[in-house]
Chains A and B, each alone.
Chain A
Amino acid sequence: MTDSVRTRPFSQLGLRARITATFMFGALLVAVLLSLASVTLSRSNLLDQRERVGVARAAVNAAAIGDKIVVPDVDAQTLFGSLSVSGKPSALVPDASAPDGFKAISLDPRFAATAVPTALRRGVLADREPKMMRYESNGEPLLAVGVPILDGTGVYFEVNQLSDISRSINSLALTLIGASAAAAVLGGSLGYWGSRRLLRPLADVSSVAEAVAQGRLDARLAYSEWAEDPDLAQLVSSFNEMVAALQGRIDRDARFASDVSHELRSPLTTFSASLEVLRNAREEMPERAQIALDLLSSDMERFTQLVEDLLEISRFDAGAVRLDPGEVLIVETLRMAVRALASEPVPVDAEADLEDLVIVCDKRRLIRVLANFIDNARKYGGGATRVAVERLTPERSEDDDETEDDDPSEVIRIAVEDSGSGVPEADREQIFDRFNRGSLGGSRGTATGVGLGLSLAAEHARLQGGRVWVEPRPDHEPGARFVIELPLVEPADDDVDGLDAAVATMTSDELTKHDTETRART
């Protein structure tokens, strides 16, 4: 159970994260593809348009300057000043005096005709038709249009700057990158939200299952909006049916245990009382009857204990166990208990500051464990020699999943030591198994018949979030040391009156009460 509780959040998160990531990358991919397409398209559209305009304008301008150009030494201002140009105008006219046979006329030396790529010039001169070419100069994208003039002996150029187009394309691209990112986030959120909705039924199912596992058998899946979904309604009803069946079964088991308990306790009461009467008359009996009476007496005690243990176990098995926590002045209680339980005086060792320590625990269960340890020591260890009470914060070196709390909280340890032969290492775990007679033949654990006590001790401890074990004595003397460790719970501040706790327990007990007989009569 612990495992499932621990791992479920991770796998749930994993699935949700996966769905979220899928949505996010999907949205990003679509957005990026669309952006790329639109950038490319816009770019080529803008360039096409610019080229068309450039070519048309250059052709008109070339025709316009055709007449003026024949005048030798015409200056650029005169030549180009009146033109309505789309780019920077310049021209190459034949000039026999120039080294390459041309004279370049331009307004702006940066866009002189000589700066135009030679390939364009050659192309226009060779084919005698307008041509254009895109190129870069000093990192600036340019479009040069060349139109033949003077019957193809000269060229009129217009160099258009394309940086405005790349600027708009860049800003478009930037916008689209932003939009893609937004789309990815949106997709992710959609995925997260969608997966939450998708997984909510699972979360509900798991929380109800957990409640049931913790003993709240009346927990059911509510018919919420998702549960009315035709796809999920089946899950809800079969889950609820399953829990109901489980509850019914546990109730039956618990009722059976309760009935058996009543049926066994009544004759035992008669036995016990009658035996007492017989014992009172023991002296008047013949010797043979006295022996029989003694046998009866001693086995009566054992039998009663066995019945108590079996009833306790059946309650554990029926899941009908309820803790009954209360405030316990621990050291004083242990002293009184040890005094009453042990045949010889046994010291109870505790640090002075533990004397006033009050812990919240189920006193009856604690005393049962202690009684069992002391009884065990008497039977197999020559009697308890010492009871030690310690308060400590256990180090979490070993991975122990016995204790459910994983915060490094304090614990209280109560150890019963004896001076017997100890428990062999190989048997230290299995002596806590139910009815364990095992290989131990004749030694500890076989009890005077039944090995229920230690397994019950383990259950009593476990139920309170604690544990029991046996270890060698820390002073290396021969003997065993049986330990019960309980989480140290100090009374809550608002719990002003112990009675409130008792009454609260009673109410919750009533809710989960299985003994319908008593309830009917109450």
Chain B
Amino acid sequence: MGTRILTVEDDERIRTSVRLALEDEGWEVDEATNGEDAIARFVRSPADVVLIDIMLPGIDGFDVCRAIRRQSDVPIIMVTARADTHDVVAGLEAGADDYLTKPFVPKELSARIRALLRRSRAADSPVTRMRFSDLEIVPQEGVVTRDGRVIHLTKTEFRLLVELASNAGRVFSREALLERVWGHDYFGDGRLVDVHIRRLRTKVEADPASPRYVVTVRGLGYKLQP
């Protein structure tokens, strides 16, 4: 079965043209015209990637994102008409994995989708098992445990953790993480990393306010403290 992408967009012309462009990439596209419709469709048949426009009639893109995130790890891309901090951070806080600003080039969109798909199917780590005191990561099974209890991470969070863990102790700049985890080019947005790091901490750390594993190296980036 091919990859299914759910697009949520109220503008019919954008919806149709994006569907055509994505279908050209060989993906199957499911369309929703509003938030309620999107959630219903997702419940009925979960997609592999969800593309959500923030400005929707009725419940907005942030709410759709939160609703879907509550029941699935599916990679979510937010589409905003503006790149200002408010929309971006709010979208990421709502659980989006990545975002795009209109007008986007379809090539960029498909590159992002491919990066997310690669990630959500990531089991390509050569290492089978990593242990950092009470934290255990099993890349191939996509499982993280702390004190033997399984921690539930989204695919992006998991990929981020594995990236840091496979070079534990090494400092990763935001730019490097953007390139390696999100497949972004130079224009990547450091906030993407910051929000995901924070979400990762709330799940992985005993005390997210003073992290033990995922630590900030002031000014430089992040590293995993072995």
Contact surface of A with B, Cβ cutoff 8 Å: 258, 261-262, 265-274, 276-277, 280, 304, 322, 324, 326-329, 332-333, 336-341, 356, 358, 363-364, 367, 490-491, 493, 495-499, 502-503, 505-506, 509-510, 513, 515, 517-518, 521-522
Contacts and interface: CB of A to CB of B under 8 A. Distances in A.
B174 interface: yes
Report which residue of A268, A273, A341, A513 has the largest number of chain B beta carbons within 10 angstroms of its beta carbon: A273
B173 A332 contact: yes
B126 interface: no
B55 A273 contact: no
A367 B190 contact: no
Contacts of A518: 54-55, 82, 86-87
B129 interface: no
A371 to B, nearest CB: 9
B62 A522 contact: yes
B104 interface: yes
Contacts of A510: 86
A280 B23 CA distance: 11
A491 B219 contact: yes
A267 to B, nearest CB: 7
Contacts of B106: 272-273, 276
Interface of B: 11, 13-14, 17-18, 20-21, 24, 54-55, 60, 62, 81-87, 89-90, 102-107, 173-176, 179, 185-187, 189-191, 193-195, 197-198, 216, 218-221
B11 A272 contact: no
Contact of A262 (B55, B83, B173): B55
Given A265-B102, A327-B190, A499-B195, A276 B216 contact: no
A128 to B, nearest CB: 111
Contacts of A498: 174, 190, 193-194, 216
B21 A268 contact: no
Contact of B55 (A267, A493, A517): A517
B67 to A, nearest CB: 15
Contacts of B107: 276
Contacts of B186: 333, 336-341, 367
Contacts of A505: 85
Contacts of B218: 491, 493, 495-496
Report which residue of A265, A304, A495 has the largest number of chain B beta carbons within 10 angstroms of its beta carbon: A265
B84 A322 contact: yes
Contacts of A497: 194, 198, 216
Main secondary structure of the interface of B (DSSP, over half): helix
Contacts of A304: 103
A510 B89 CA distance: 11
A365 to B, nearest CB: 11
10 pairs of A and B residues whose beta carbons are closest in the complex: A273-B17, A268-B103, A499-B194, A358-B219, A337-B186, A276-B106, A336-B186, A521-B60, A265-B102, A269-B103
19 contacts: A261-B81, A267-B13, A269-B102, A269-B103, A272-B104, A276-B21, A276-B105, A280-B21, A322-B85, A326-B190, A333-B186, A495-B218, A499-B194, A499-B195, A502-B89, A502-B191, A509-B86, A518-B55, A521-B60
A509 B219 CA distance: 23
Report which residue of A267, A327, A510 has the largest number of chain B beta carbons within 10 angstroms of its beta carbon: A327
A506 B85 contact: yes
A336 B216 contact: no
Contacts of A262: 55, 81
A460 to B, nearest CB: 14
Nearest to A501: B194
